Structure 1
Amino acid sequence: MSVLTLLLAGPLQSWGASSRFVRRTTESAPTKSGVIGLLASAQGTDRNDDVGLARLAGLRFAVRIDQPGTRQRDFQTAHHAATGKAMPLTERFYLSDAVFVAAVEGDESLVTELRHALRAPVYLPYLGRRSCPPARPVDLAVHSGCGLQEALQREPWQAARWYQRMRRSDAQVDLVTLLETQDGTGDSLRDQPVSFSTAHRRHALRTYTSTTISVPNPHSLKAPATGPQQAPAHDPFSFLEAEDV
């Protein structure tokens, strides 16, 4: 088994699991259906291809919250393009300045195939909604011979530099991580994709557990010195020395 790690970072993200009608909410972390949709679009999988979707939905999923961001509310109005009639007012919620590391675990051949697709996507990836493009390349690495938790433990902290500097007093940072469970225990979320078809879009319940992963802080003031530091040679009076004429 192999694990593909993904960097999900951008000005705005939105990961809905219970959005209905005119109120479109977002979860505090990427959903499995959203990430599987990103991978399916990179492959060019048709929305009505339930067999292709099932192949991806069988991957195990986890997400590490590197920078939680802030929740934003957007109030939208719209008019019908053909009739000009006013459409219902909607509320849409986003995560601003958030950074996540997601991971999917499966057969090595499928994981490798997905990484190649992310590097040359059929359809451009987006972070939950088409209006939310990623700010950095999505694919991070492929980790062989390990599970989700170990793969996320290997990945460096991906938060923005300014955010990392806010934690300079910490040599290690504890990052909340949501791991998919296989025994049905833990919290549940309806984000297991069954069909992406517009005619019968369906999702099932998925269970996960929350844990903590500690990673080094590259901007910590407590980072150990790499070796003895020697001050550079400097003579502040050298410029006063007179030259022989």
Structure 2
Amino acid sequence: MTREYLLFRLSGPMAAFGDITVGERRSLWDAPSKSGVLGLVAGAMGFTRDDHDALLDLDATLGFAVRLDSPGYPLRDYHTAQTPTEAARKRLHKAGASTSTRKNDLVADDLNTVLSERMYRLESVSTVALWQKPDQNADLTRVEAALKRPVFAPYLGRKACPLSAPPRPRRLTCDRLLTGFGAYDAVEEVTRLALKTPRLDSARVWFEFEAGLTVEEADAKEIRLRRDGLRNRALWQFSDRREGRLEWSDIPVGTAAEDAA
């Protein structure tokens, strides 16, 4: 059965798609998270963090897969920042002042220093695939248009991590997920040559389970849990999501056709 996929590439000098964070250490997964990528998509579409229903709709209607083209290498940042004490923050609020920005925060008369370790991936490149889940209604054409002309600047997990190149989204109709990745590489070959990046021979592909890809689920070489399914953005609550691993290589594995813009 053929399916329409939206594929695009994420690359940057730094990326930070975080793991579950408790305390001072901000660790990472080995691959971009669904919640992080859909946050990038939501910003491109003009959704704000307060658009709770719109964010939940993206998570519920779109399936997610990512191919690790180049994992990059790790960087640990010893991070310090000043924040108001709770008492100082209450005094600011009582006086009618806002603490919604760092500039407003630092007006406080009593500051604490917060220490943390923040992990990043340097020079990482990933190719993302999105598709409509069964019995859902997702507008991939709208998502594609938003990624081409984003409302809010996209970034790779944290605002300090901008993209190094446009994501270059393309809608492709394919009979298999892996076929879609190969077809995307074929139509983006000119870009690869212009950037002088090496041809990809093999890579890991992580894809969402229970999102309609029954053939891929049967072929999965590994299954793991990731807590990156959105539950409540305002409270930073996420649910577990199963994903499977496939091995991609530069070998034709089916048929694909590019959809009209």
TM over 0.5: yes
SS at match of 2:53: helix
State the match for 1:148 in structure 2.
177
SS at match of 1:55: helix
Q: For 1:53 and 1:127, locate their aligned partners in 2 and report how far apart those are by CA, in whole Å.
A: 17
SS at match of 2:18: coil
Asked if 1 retains the 8 angstrom alpha-carbon contact of 2:19 and 2:26, the reply is no
Q: Does 1:93 align with 2:95?
A: no
Normalised to the residue count of structure 2, the TM-score between the two structures is: 0.72
State the match for 1:116 in structure 2.
145
Among 225, 248, 257, the alignment partner of 1:188 is 225
Tell which deviates more after alignment, 136-145 or 125-134.
136-145
Letter of the 2:225 partner, please give it. Answer: S
1:133-158 CA distance string (max 9 Å, x none)? 00010133111254533212322288
Q: Does 1:132 align with 2:161?
A: yes
Asked if 1 retains the 8 angstrom alpha-carbon contact of 2:78 and 2:117, the reply is yes
Q: For 2:174 and 2:52, locate their aligned partners in 1 and report how far apart those are by CA, in whole Å.
A: 29
- The count of aligned residue pairs is 208
State the match for 2:44 in structure 1.
42
Change (3 A) 1:203 1:108: closer
Q: Does 1:73 align with 2:76?
A: yes
Q: For 1:63 and 1:159, locate their aligned partners in 2 and report how far apart those are by CA, in whole Å.
A: 18
Q: For 2:176 and 2:158, locate their aligned partners in 1 and report how far apart those are by CA, in whole Å.
A: 29
Asked if 2 retains the 8 angstrom alpha-carbon contact of 1:4 and 1:143, the reply is yes
Displacement of 1:174 = 1.4
Change (3 A) 1:84 1:95: farther
SS at match of 1:142: strand
SS at match of 1:20: coil
Q: Does 1:213 align with 2:213?
A: no
Change (3 A) 1:133 1:11: same
Q: For 1:173 and 1:39, locate their aligned partners in 2 and report how far apart those are by CA, in whole Å.
A: 28
1:141-180 CA distance string (max 9 Å, x none)? 1112545332123222888967628xxxxxx711111111
Larger Rg: 1
Asked if 1 retains the 8 angstrom alpha-carbon contact of 2:202 and 2:248, the reply is yes
**In the TM superposition, what are the counterparts of 1:1-20 in structure 2 within 5 Å?**
1-20=3-22
Q: Does 1:60 align with 2:63?
A: yes
SS at match of 1:122: coil
Displacement of 1:86 = 3.4
SS at match of 2:165: coil
Displacement of 1:52 = 0.8
Asked if 2 retains the 8 angstrom alpha-carbon contact of 1:149 and 1:179, the reply is no
Displacement of 1:46 = 2.7
Q: Tell me the percent identity.
A: 29
Normalised to the residue count of structure 1, the TM-score between the two structures is: 0.77
Displacement of 1:13 = 0.2
Displacement of 1:122 = 1.4
Q: Does 1:176 align with 2:211?
A: no
Displacement of 1:84 = 5.9
